[in-house]
Amino acid sequence: DAGVIQSPRHEVTEMGQEVTLRCKPISGHNSLFWYRQTMMRGLELLIYFNNNVPIDDSGMPEDRFSAKMPNASFSTLKIQPSEPRDSAVYFCASSDLGHPRRDQPQHFGDGTRLSIL
């Protein structure tokens, strides 16, 4: 079965440009998470969707970041305008939570390595 698919795998762009990261969760999973991983801060949760609805966006750094989930099979994370400090690896994960149970593993994509010059 296909796992979580993220695109692009690598993105290099100049500061000020808009960046869009994409994620296709595992079919049938109803929860989707966006994380950011850096050496300094480790793995941080940015936003959580349940049934396509944003439930917790308290980890989104600032208004330059936005995330959408227009349907159960697609989500985007957008940064506009981008800054060098946004450089990181961004992961998408999905989970099967019929109701917000607390014992389901999260399945991660391989991430997007973002470099803002």
Residue 81 CB, nearest distance to another protein (Å)? 27
Q: Between β-strands 31-38 and 88-95, what pairing exists: parallel, antiparallel or unpaired?
A: antiparallel
Query: Per CB under 8 A, which of residues 57..86 are in contact with another protein?
Result: none
Amino acid at 106: Q
Residue 92 CB, nearest distance to another protein (Å)? 9
User: Does residue 107 touch another protein according to CB under 8 A?
Assistant: yes
Rg (Cα) of the chain, in Å, rounded? 14
Site track for another protein across 40-59, x = CB under 8 A: --xx-x--x-x----xx---
The torsion region of residue 76 among left (phi > 0), alpha (psi -120 to 50) and beta comes to beta
